[in-house]
Amino acid sequence: MTAPRAQIARAEVLCRERGVRLTDQRRRVLEILCAAGRPVGAYEIMDAMREGPRVVAPPTVYRALEFLLEQGLIHKIESLHAFVGCDHPEHPHSSEFLICLECGGVAELKDDAVERSLESVTRESGFRPRRRVVEVMGTCAQCAHKEECARKEEADRSPGPVD
Amino acid sequence: MTAPRAQIARAEVLCRERGVRLTDQRRRVLEILCAAGRPVGAYEIMDAMREGPRVVAPPTVYRALEFLLEQGLIHKIESLHAFVGCDHPEHPHSSEFLICLECGGVAELKDDAVERSLESVTRESGFRPRRRVVEVMGTCAQCAHKEECARKEEADRSPGPVD
DNA sequence: GGACGACATGATATCTTATAACGTGCCGAC
DNA sequence: GTCGGCACGTTATAAGATATCATGTCGTCC
Ligand SMILES: [Zn+2]
Ligand SMILES: [Zn+2]
Ligand SMILES: [Zn+2]
Ligand SMILES: [Zn+2]
């Protein structure tokens, strides 16, 4: 939940340090992702870019996304065919994502227990891991709370059979 | 690694028990998946079905896949846009998958440690999980071994600098 | 300064994956 | 018999991703 501005600034620094170019197009895509604060599809990004000076075609967006993925500045959410900005891109990593099916929000976790258990189970089977995809879909705390409240209110109005 | 025949038979029983219909098309899709023993895309399934009596269109395949997913007889591998037969469909579940990038093979795990750690980390954040996607991409034991052997042989032929 | 190569982008077309919408046929319930 | 639910057929199209070739941009080397 870093401020979008700060995220961009950090990305600038990282890219300079690494000797790679955060070009206008790439920064623009990153800005859109960070500002959204939720998963955004490639074509939605493209639409957002149309607002700007130039019209862009799919390959432009996908190339920018490829770069940002390589630099660990964003992540791809496989189960949504969408992308999100990374909250701590200092060193590239795989993360765990909690995806709310109600509000579409996504939280990026970094849980050692999950990583350790995955590490050990892959090791045991002689598997050499390269990339991890961990995506849990369900209902986030906020939405669960709202649901709870709605149910409660409902019950108050008509105190029918206690379930 | 159950025999395809046995998997189909088990699916028949399960569907009868549940009062749902494992129709010809659905069984055919399941057969193709089980026989392949690796992830297969929807359109590849469709091609395989063309060999049979009737030509089928995408919706037919996707409907069959939807049913099989609902019944927990197959899984979808999100990162590959492909499907695999489930090895233990007795009660529907989410699993962890090890996906080999060399040979394309997939192993379905069922690891309590991974599940427990995911469970606890989601609980902590008040998140109510519904479906888990856990896919680890890398190199399987077999392929890693082959690579190892190749390297060794190479070293034997030209005993250059020891790495 | 001009030639060159590396890299980023533009532009067009195409491919892959997935779903919408509507119609038909089967079968059991009533 | 007819009604309703369900599986499937058929056509079209949406949504996501890539292949290919052309153009531009910029620093380096001579
Ligand atoms: Zn991250
Ligand atoms: Zn939510
Ligand atoms: Zn399974
Ligand atoms: Zn392998």
Whole-number Å distance, alpha carbon A98 to ligand 2 midpoint, is 10
- Domains in chain B: boundaries: 1-91, 93-163
Pair of tokens at residue B5 = 């025949």
Is A111 touching B (CB cutoff 8 A)?
Answer: yes
Q: A77 burial class (0-12, 13-18, 19+ CB within 10 angstroms)?
A: buried
Considering CB atoms only, which of A96, A118, A130 is closest to B101?
A: A130
CA distance linking residue B64 with residue A79, whole number of Å = 20
Q: Which of B73, B113, B132, B123 is nearest to A78 (CA)?
A: B132
pLDDT of residue A158: 66
Enumerate residue ranges in chain B where pLDDT < 50: 162
Residue A162 has pLDDT above 60, yes or no: no
Cα A99 to ligand 2 centre (Å): 8
β-strand partners of B84: B75
Which of the residue ranges A61-70, A123-132, A147-156, B20-29 would you say has the lowest mean pLDDT?
Answer: A147-156
Residue-wise pLDDT tens digits, A37-93: 999 999 999 999 987 777 899 999 999 999 999 999 999 999 999 999 999 999 889
CB < 7 A to strand D: residues 65-94, chain B? 67
Q: Which of B100, B122, B139 sits opposite A98 (nearest CB)?
A: B122
Q: Does residue B103 sit at the A interface (CB-CB below 8 Å)?
A: no
CA distances from B130 to A33, A54, B70, B94 (A): 26, 41, 13, 9
Question: What is the band of A159 on the pLDDT scale with cuts at 50, 70, 90?
Answer: low
3-state SS track over chain B: CCCHHHHHHHHHHHHHHHCCCCCHHHHHHHHHHHHHCCCECHHHHHHHHHCCCCCCCHHHHHHHHHHHHHCCCEEEEHHHCEEEECCCCCCCCCCEEEEECCCCCEEEECCHHHHHHHHHHHHHCCCEEEEEEEEEEEECHHHHHHHHHHHHHHHHHCCCCCC
Helices B58-70, B42-50: inter-axial angle, 10-degree rounding: 120
Q: Which residue has the higher pLDDT, A161 or B8?
A: B8
Which run of H or E residues covers position A104?
Answer: none
CATH code of the region B93-163: 3.30.1490.190
Interface contact A133, partner B, CB < 8 A: yes
Quick one: fold of B1-91?
Answer: Arc Repressor Mutant, subunit A (1.10.10)
**pLDDT at site A54:** 78
Distance CA A63, CA A85 (A): 16
The residue type found at B24 is: D
pLDDT at A117 over 60: yes
Contact A106, A97 (CB under 8 A): yes
Q: Does A138 sit within 8 Å of B117, measured CB to CB? A: no
Cβ proximity of A79 and B134 under 8 Å:
no
